Structures are given as structure tokens and as C-alpha cells.
């Protein structure tokens, strides 16, 4: 009886605390928008979701001193023998399970940070793909997923057989305000899945990180109707053969914002992505002085990190 009463009391206290915190968050929103989004909100959301975020302590420095490979979706992956990495710690992103080399690699970690996958008001294609991932991705692969996806995952009963960690994101990387890169609190929105992989790898303690499939050639091709479906990838899916000049078709795959995008917007977004990499790396080096990140992607535009040939990486 006493135990039941105590448990009920704790639940009441938590409910009161969460209610009070929600009230504080509503009041704090009257602060200037930039300051709220990028400084105040991450602090309050970290408190609100603290129980979920504290689960990430299970993997903090778990792989200290080891190396890992972060595999993007760039076309160079198609010509690489990824089976060489089958015994390595590997991170993949987004649609990698559709890659022809998926079974020979069997990645250790799969990152999903793009909100298109779980945005109920966005294109249905990506929500269908997210649901399919729950079946297609090996249960031996650990999932690292945007915390905003959790209601969608619970609603549709996804990834019940997977080990999954949730990462809260809010705000941007900026020189103007302090930002956090530890996964027991909210981190800035990386705007790029590979950067989310980097943050995860550093949190886990990896001190040598190699990038593959990270061409980052976002500005190397024209946009417009004929190019609206995006950039080249190492895999093919149903979008590959679409008539991508028809907006009635494109709206099933792209948000209105992407449909109306132009080269100027693309330049601004690319600048932000490269700045995010630079700011993250500088911050990470302060707390992880032995950290080294290398870009092993051939013909890559991503020069924030030193380049290295894939074939020159030792013990492959």
C-alpha cells in the first residue's frame, strides 16, 4: 500500500513539474524569436524531455578510442567495396537499406533525422518509407532517431524489435550564442544527416571518424523543374524513373518549400551546412582533443575536414 501511494505521489509531482515547465515555456516565447529558438528553447525542452534524453547516457563514450565510418548517400558509394567495412563500426543514413551493398555491410547504426519521414502533413511517400524501414532494417542495427519522430513511431508501432535512441534538436549552430553537442540535452538542428552521425560518433567516444559518400556537390548542378527531385545518390528507387517535370507528381515526394526552391536558396542552405560542420568540429575538439575526422570521399566538395584516400586507410 505504501509503495503504491509513494509511486502515485511521484507521478503527481512529475505531472505538476511538467505542467509548470509548460507554463514557463509558453511565457518564455515572448522573448525575441532568435534568442528563444536558439538558446532558451533548447534549455527548456531538455528539461521537459530529460527522462528520454538521459537514456543516451548508455552509449556515452561506449566506444572510446575506436574508429568508425560514416556513410552518406553520395554516388561514389556505388563503386566502393563496402564489404571491407563489415567488421567496422559503421553509421548509415536515410535510405541506405535500399543500397545493393546493404546486406554485405550490415551497418551498426542507422540515423534518421529528416523530419519528412514523420511529418503527417508532408508528402505521404516519406511516411510510407519510414514505416517500411521498421521491417527492412536489421534488428541488429541500432537506430538513432530525431526525438520529434517518437509520437509517429509510437502511433504506428514501429521499430519495436530495435534498440533505439532519440536525439532532441532545436535551434541552429551559431557563433552568436552558446550551443550544446551532447546527446543528454537538445542539440542544434544539423540540417544534414551526416552531421548528426558525427555528433553521435563523438558522443559515443570514437576518436577517428572517416566520411564516405559525402560529395556535398549541392551547388554543382542546376535546379528547376527538371532537377527538382534532388541530388545523385548511390541507390535507385521509384523516384529515379519519374517524370520529374510534372508538379502533380513531384508534390507526392517534395514539400511545397522544396518545390519552390531556387539556386539562391540552395546556396544559402549549403553555406549553413558547411558552417555547421565547422562550428561543430571546433566545439568537439575542445572537449575531445584527440578527435580526428577525415573525408575519404573521392571528388568531394566538403573541405572542412582533411582529405584521405579510402585505399590508404590502415587495416582495411
Each residue's pLDDT tens digit, 218-227: 888 665 544 4
Neighbouring CB atoms inside 10 A of 159's CB total 21
Question: Which grid cell is 109?
Answer: 547504426
Kindly report the average pLDDT of the chain as a whole number: 85
Higher pLDDT, 27 or 199: 199
β pairing state of 109-112 and 142-146: parallel
Q: Which has more pLDDT, 23 or 174?
A: 174
Domain ranges of the chain: 59-312
- Please check whether residue 177 is in contact with residue 38, taking contact to mean a CB–CB distance below 8 angstroms: yes
pLDDT at 244 over 70: no
Span 36-65, average pLDDT: 93
Q: Residue 122: its pLDDT value, please?
A: 83
- Distance (Å, whole) CA 154 – CA 150: 6
Stretch 106-111: mean pLDDT: 96
To which residue does cell 519495436 refer? 160
Of residues 44 and 231, the one with the higher pLDDT is 44
2 has pLDDT over 50: no
Question: For position 314, what pLDDT does the model report?
Answer: 80
> What size, in residues, is the chain?
316
Asked if residue 238 has pLDDT above 90, the reply is no
Q: What is the pTM of this model?
A: 0.84
* Predicted local distance difference test score (pLDDT) of residue 241: 62
As a whole number, mean pLDDT of residues 87-93 equals: 96
* Rounded Cα–Cα distance for residues 67 and 65 (Å): 7
Distance CA 109, CA 89 (A): 8
Averaged over 287-297, what is the pLDDT?
96
Q: Where are the beta strands (DSSP E) in 17-139?
A: 67-71, 89-93, 109-112
Q: What is the CATH number of domain 59-312?
A: 3.90.1480
- pLDDT tens per residue across span 253-274: 777 777 777 778 888 889 999 9
Number of H helices, E strands in the chain: 11, 7
- What is the three-class DSSP state of 169? strand
Scanning 119-262, the segments in alpha helix (DSSP H) are 124-136, 150-156, 193-204, 247-250, 256-259
The pLDDT assigned to 96 comes to 92
Question: Is the predicted pLDDT of residue 23 greater than 80, yes or no?
Answer: no
Whole-number percent of the chain with pLDDT over 70: 82
Amino acid at each position: 500500500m505504501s509503495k503504491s501511494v509513494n509511486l502515485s505521489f511521484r507521478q503527481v509531482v512529475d505531472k505538476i513539474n511538467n505542467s509548470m515547465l509548460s507554463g514557463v515555456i509558453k511565457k518564455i516565447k515572448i522573448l525575441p524569436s532568435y534568442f528563444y529558438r536558439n538558446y532558451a528553447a533548447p534549455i527548456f525542452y531538455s528539461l521537459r524531455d530529460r527522462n528520454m534524453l538521459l537514456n543516451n547516457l548508455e552509449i556515452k563514450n561506449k566506444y572510446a578510442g575506436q574508429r568508425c565510418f560514416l556513410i552518406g548517400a553520395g554516388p561514389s558509394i556505388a563503386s566502393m567495396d563496402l564489404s571491407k567495412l563489415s567488421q567496422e563500426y559503421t553509421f548509415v543514413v536515410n535510405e541506405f537499406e535500399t543500397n545493393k551493398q546493404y546486406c554485405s555491410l550490415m551497418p551498426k547504426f542507422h540515423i534518421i533525422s529528416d523530419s519528412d519521414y514523420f511529418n503527417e502533413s508532408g508528402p505521404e511517400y516519406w511516411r510510407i518509407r519510414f514505416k517500411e524501414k521498421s521491417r527492412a532494417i536489421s534488428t541488429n542495427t541500432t537506430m538513432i532517431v530525431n526525438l520529434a519522430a517518437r509520437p509517429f513511431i509510437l502511433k504506428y508501432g514501429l521499430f519495436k524489435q530495435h534498440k533505439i535512441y532519440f536525439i532532441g534538436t532545436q535551434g541552429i549552430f551559431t557563433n552568436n550564442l552558446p550551443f550544446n553537442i551532447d546527446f543528454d540535452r537538445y542539440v542544434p538542428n544539423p540540417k544534414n544527416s551526416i552531421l548528426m552521425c558525427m555528433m553521435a560518433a563523438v558522443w559515443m567516444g570514437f576518436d577517428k571518424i572517416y566520411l564516405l559518400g559525402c560529395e556535398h556537390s549541392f551547388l554543382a548542378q542546376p535546379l528547376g523543374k527538371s532537377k527538382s527531385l534532388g541530388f545523385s545518390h548511390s541507390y535507385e528507387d521509384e523516384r529515379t524513373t519519374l517524370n520529374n517535370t510534372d508538379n502533380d507528381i513531384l508534390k507526392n515526394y517534395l514539400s511545397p518549400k522544396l518545390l519552390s526552391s531556387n539556386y539562391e536558396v540552395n546556396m544559402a542552405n549549403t553555406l549553413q551546412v558547411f558552417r555547421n560542420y565547422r562550428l561543430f568540429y571546433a566545439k568537439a575538439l575542445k572537449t575531445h582533443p584527440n578527435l580526428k575526422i577525415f573525408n575519404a570521399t573521392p571528388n568531394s566538395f566538403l573541405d572542412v575536414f582533411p582529405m584521405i584516400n579510402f585505399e590508404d586507410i590502415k587495416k582495411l
